[in-house]
Amino acid sequence: MISAVIVAGGSGQRMGASVRKQYLEVLGRPILARTIEVFDQCPEVDRIILVVPQDDYALCREQVLAPLTLATPLDLAPGGIRLRQESVYNGLRACDPQTAIAAIHDGVRPFVTAEAVSRCVQGAEKNGACMLGVPAFDTLKLTDNDGRIIKTVDRANMWLAQTPQAFSYPLIMEAHEKALADGFEGTDDASLVERLGMAVHIIEGGRNNIKITTPEDLALAQALLKADLDA
């Protein structure tokens, strides 16, 4: 069984909107609905676990899920109070124990393609851990806390991490449980698996697989979708 854990339990502070950014519309449809549809179209995905703040369950059912006709069973799980990591762990614990692979994805990355999700899941089936990303395409600078450049980082083999990040289910459960026990807070799930000494493979997710974080990203998202519709 392959489960997709779509995390949408955040507060969207950097977006600064009156509603949580995952519910904001891009060309008339909620960002989160667009993301869910991609995973629903992915033949490898058997079940979707959608992680949202528990207070949002009714809103999510009404505004996001009701207009969708999904072929994939979907369950809700409660979002983390503070950390994305907590939301992911809640989503993982809601997965069927028979889950073989868990693909963890940001609910605010609606432009991932079903094809890229499939490649990521197949990578995890082959290697135990696989994620999407894009090779660094600008020069990278390491600075001190005052913004003074310490050095230019060789960008060969440097990637910008994206999602989904897909893992053997027992492996990602072990990684989250160890991180919780150690008090380790990672900004993505692969970092929790890396600290177990496990190799994680990263493959091309495409530059359009953006995380909608700030108002600028919302404008970019509308332009990307319009360009796609006009193509």
Give me the residues that bind ligand LQXTBERG (CB under 6 A), please: 84, 106, 161-163, 187-188, 211, 213
| Minimal distance, residue 15 CB to ligand CTP, in Å | 6
| Minimal distance, residue 132 CB to ligand CTP, in Å | 14
Task: Kindly give, in sequence order, each residue whose CB lies less than 8 Å from that of residue 76, ignoring residues fewer than 6 positions away.
Answer: 49, 50, 51, 52, 57, 60, 61
Q: What is the DSSP string of 78-122?
A: EPPSS-HHHHHHHHHHTS-TT-SEEEEEETT-TT--HHHHHHHHH
| Minimal distance, residue 84 CB to ligand LQXTBERG, in Å | 4
Paired with 147 in beta bridges are: none
Burial (CB < 10 A; 0-12, 13-18, 19+), residue 231, is: exposed
Cβ closer to ligand CTP: 82 or 141? 82
Cβ closer to ligand LQXTBERG: 99 or 165? 165
- Under the binding rule (CB under 6 A), the answer on residue 78 touching ligand CTP is no
In this structure, what token pair is assigned to residue 134? 């894009």
Torsion of CA 43, 44, 47, 53, to 10 degrees: -100
Task: Choose from ligand CTP, ligand LQXTBERG, none: what does 107 bind? Cβ within 5-8 Å by kind.
Answer: ligand CTP
Applying CB under 6 A, the span of 56-64, 102-110, 125-133, 145-153 interacting with ligand CTP comes to 102-110
Task: Choose from ligand LQXTBERG, ligand CTP, none: what does 188 bind? Cβ within 5-8 Å by kind.
Answer: ligand LQXTBERG
In this structure, what token pair is assigned to residue 160? 């910008």
From candidates 29, 178, 195, 211, binder to ligand CTP by CB under 6 A = 211
Cβ closer to ligand LQXTBERG: 13 or 152? 13
How far apart are the C-alpha atoms of 115 and 141, rounded to whole Å? 33
- Under the binding rule (CB under 6 A), the answer on residue 133 touching ligand CTP is no
How far apart are the C-alpha atoms of 77 and 53, rounded to whole Å? 8
| Minimal distance, residue 149 CB to ligand CTP, in Å | 26
| Minimal distance, residue 208 CB to ligand CTP, in Å | 16
| CA dist list (Å): 190 to 6, 71, 171, 229 | 15, 29, 11, 33
Residues that bind ligand CTP (CB under 6 A): 7-14, 22, 51, 79-80, 82-84, 87, 106-108, 211, 213
